[in-house]
Structure 1
Amino acid sequence: MTESGPVAAYQQDHLDRGADRLGLHLYPEPDGRPDAPAVVICPAMGVPARYYRPLAGALRDAGLAVVVVDLRGTGSSTPPASRASRYRYADLVADVGAVLESLKSRLDGRTRLLLGHSLGGQAALLHTALTDGVAVDGLALVAVGLPYWRVYPGRTGYRVLPMTQTVALATELLGVWPGWGFGGRQARGVIRDWAYTARVGRLPHIDGADPAPALRRMRTPVLAVSIEDDWHTPPQTLDHLCGFLDAAPVRREHVTAAEAGRRMDHFTWVRSPVPLARRIAAFADGLPR
């Protein structure tokens, strides 16, 4: 094990979604646990699945089976976002369900946990709420939040609002977000929905319906973890998101740099995954099936 945690090998697989193809990274089963709890990881915007290899290794060492999904247009998923891309949050949410269905033979009989980071966490949460959590036993949200400009500490929100809306405006003009210093190349619809969350502090409508009632009804257990020095989604943004979860049991935790042994942020926590992997393993072991 390195300072950043173990780095694991994986098997590449794919799932066809119409004209798009999603990449799946399937990691070996943990030693001696053929029915180990399974974790399906949904990455952050523009972050490829291979980036999560240290986390996957730490989770496997903690006794969990791991699959990491490349979001549409990212990493091993094809094609890359272009002006022709028409997908948005609703499609990412549907992708989560399709991935779980494709993994049914691997997941049946196990405790099933969705782990979402940033945008992937929003998609995982929406899928869980809109399907009454029938496909998963628990949801882990790591460095996830609603980037609502009004809840950022101090005057940070006065920078977040113009930045997010400028990205959205540039994307509308260009027809696609080129990934200039933020988020990787993204479809116009994804950026439009993301900018909406920053502007109004709510998740966008999915297939024409407000997801807020489904979020309030959701009863799937949630582990909500914020990361020290994460200025993209500081604790206030995660708390704001959890405020929509009236019925779900939420375990709220915070990972510090002292615990991880190094400074972290919205992305680099993945390089020091052991403290988080232990939390997730304990959460999965305590889930009712």
Structure 2
Amino acid sequence: MSAEYTQEFVDVDGARLGVQVYPEPDGPPGAPVVVIWPAMGVRARYYRPFAAALRDAGLAVIVIDLRGTGASTPTPARTCRYGYAELAADVRVVLDALKPRLDGRVRMLLGHSLGGQVAVLHQALHDAEAVDGLALVAVGLPWWRRYPGLHGWRVLASTQGIAAATRLLGVWPGWGFGGRQARGVIRDWAHTARTGRFPALDGVDAEAAVRLVRTPILAVSVDDDQYTPHETLDHLCAKLTAAPVTRHRYPVAEAGAPLDHFTWVRAATPLAARIAEFAAALPRR
């Protein structure tokens, strides 16, 4: 059974970010800390089974609700203009708020889907030295050309259709995909699907900045991922030319259960052990 967490909050630019802090793992104090950034529209509490597996593997775990999701505010509306730039800056603010808990400890960002893109952009655009390692799980740039055959054309049509509807409505209502989202988030996400590139953020060439990231990365794609298949993570990893990347495909045989973009969270005990091994190899502060 998963351990209960303590709900905390961090204020940033008029928003309030929900922060779920799990009990420290058994064992010596000062265990590496993993800060999880979820997928688009996925609440932090969804990751409770994964948090339990990580704790059992000896890692301290903190899970964040992305801005506008779960316990975090604001509820996306026509007045919300935030996008990838603000989500990446939120990582910096949360790490600053957690600093007393993180000082002297190995600390990792672990991103799932959109959360993985956000973690990479934080390392590219903000204080990369605040983090010792990145774990990217079921992450990828959903560039339509990296999907096979007609599926790629369907991805292009659906992502750009969602973007068009969001421009018209001023907000994405969450009709069948991604939960309710601010138009800036959908705009930037749709750009990655259309072009295979990160958009410029606050006047910064994010593509060039990503190429300079040097943080060690564990990049894990999962079998039968309907949204970010193996090829989309390969595409993202190809941008990380300066970073040491450990690439792993998480198969059904290793998980011991069916997998997809979301259900890996409930079959992640072997993956948690792999992440703990990666964390143990990172240089200690």
Query: What is the TM-score normalised by the length of structure 1?
Result: 0.96
| Mapped partners of 2:7, 2:232: distance in 1 | 34
The residue number in structure 1 matching 2:118 is: 123
Residues 44-63 of structure 1, C-alpha deviation per residue, up to 9 Å, x if partnerless?
Answer: 00000000000101000100
The residue number in structure 1 matching 2:248 is: 253
**Is 1:77 aligned with 2:60?**
no
Structure 1 residues 186-265: aligned runs within 5 Å: 186-265=181-260
**Is 1:54 aligned with 2:46?**
no
Out of 67, 85, 93, which is 2:88 matched to?
93
The residue number in structure 2 matching 1:154 is: 149
Amino acid at match of 1:143: A
Amino acid at match of 1:172: R
5+ long unaligned stretches in structure 1: 1-5
Runs of 4 or more consecutive aligned structure 1 residues displaced over 3 Å after TM superposition: none
| Deviation at residue 243 of structure 1 after TM alignment | 0.6
SS at 2:239's partner residue?
coil
The residue number in structure 1 matching 2:2 is: 7
Q: 1:242–1:132: structure 2 CA closer, same or farther, 3 Å change rule?
A: farther
Q: CA RMSD in A?
A: 0.9
Residues 188-234 of structure 1, C-alpha deviation per residue, up to 9 Å, x if partnerless?
Answer: 00000000000000011121111122211111100000000002000
Count of matched residue pairs: 284
Amino acid at match of 2:238: G
Contact 1:33–1:63 at 8 Å: present in 2 too? no
| Mapped partners of 1:166, 1:180: distance in 2 | 12
Out of 168, 176, 179, which is 1:181 matched to?
176
| Deviation at residue 79 of structure 1 after TM alignment | 2.3
Out of 275, 278, 283, which is 2:273 matched to?
278
| Mapped partners of 1:167, 1:211: distance in 2 | 23
Query: What is the TM-score normalised by the length of structure 2?
Result: 0.98
| Deviation at residue 275 of structure 1 after TM alignment | 1.3
SS at 1:56's partner residue?
helix
**Is 1:138 aligned with 2:156?**
no
| Mapped partners of 2:198, 2:28: distance in 1 | 38
Structure 1 residues 100-111: aligned runs within 5 Å: 100-111=95-106
Residues 225-280 of structure 1, C-alpha deviation per residue, up to 9 Å, x if partnerless?
Answer: 00000020001000000111111000000111121111110011001110110110
| Deviation at residue 32 of structure 1 after TM alignment | 2.4
Identity of aligned residues (%): 67
SS at 1:157's partner residue?
helix
| Mapped partners of 1:196, 1:218: distance in 2 | 21
SS at 1:156's partner residue?
helix
